[in-house]
Amino acid sequence: MIKLVLNLEKANRLDSKLQEEHQVDLTTRQMGEDEMLFIIPSEYEQVFLRVLNEVLEQELPLWFNTYYGNRKVYPSDLLYFEVQSGITVFVNEFYKETAILYTLAELEEMLGDLWFERINKSQIVNLKKITYIRPLLNSKIELTLTGDIKLEVNRSYLRAFKKALNEKGGV
């Protein structure tokens, strides 16, 4: 069992998202004027934590160092990161590429708690933007993202990718 107190605004968003998208109705109690207590039974812990992450991450932008200064980006706007000719870029939901001053290893560490996962030597994908998964030969998987973008999960990243899908959510 988990007990958690949130401010009323976040609590209301979380509660409505749990009810509408996951049909989970939890015990809540008003705590003072601007806080709400959630009591989460064990069977709903995983769903609750995933939705809580989504609600909290929606408001928190990421700041990336680019060649032109700092750029604010919301995680939900990102499709994937890719290394092209030694330069790391991210592709947003408008299919615009922006070069950033990070390695994929640094991004993996930065995005560890979010819904991003490394799928091969040169790409990190946003699990929430995957619309279709298709098995390929040689134990590879083809991902189709929003906008019909196709990426491949290589064999050596397959186990971690499947684990991330189960733990962080996606498709």
Cβ atoms 108, 118 nearer than 8 A = yes
**Is the CATH number of domain 2-59 1.10.3470?**
no
Boundaries of every domain in the chain: 2-59, 62-168
For every residue of 70-97, DSSP letters joined together read EEEE-GGGEEEEEEETTEEEEEETT--E
Tokens of 116: 């991003």
Report DSSP state, residue 42: G
Q: What is the model's pLDDT at position 171?
A: 57
Q: What is the model's pLDDT at position 101?
A: 96
Tokens of 89: 């870029």
Model confidence, pTM: 0.68
Per-residue pLDDT of the chain (171 residues; tens, 9 = 90+): 888 888 787 888 888 888 887 888 788 888 887 888 888 888 888 888 888 887 776 667 899 999 999 999 988 889 999 999 999 999 988 889 999 999 999 999 999 888 899 999 999 999 989 999 999 988 899 999 988 999 999 999 999 999 999 887 665
Tell me the sheet residues that pair with 4. 38
Q: Sort residue 52 into left (φ over 0), alpha (ψ -120 to 50) or beta.
A: alpha
Q: What is the model's pLDDT at position 78?
A: 93
User: In CATH, which superfamily holds the domain spanning 62-168?
Assistant: LytTr DNA-binding domain (2.40.50.1020)
Rounded Cα distance, 121 and 123, in Å: 6
Q: What is the model's pLDDT at position 58?
A: 65
- The secondary element (H helix, E strand) that includes residue 28 is strand 27-31
Q: What is the model's pLDDT at position 69?
A: 95
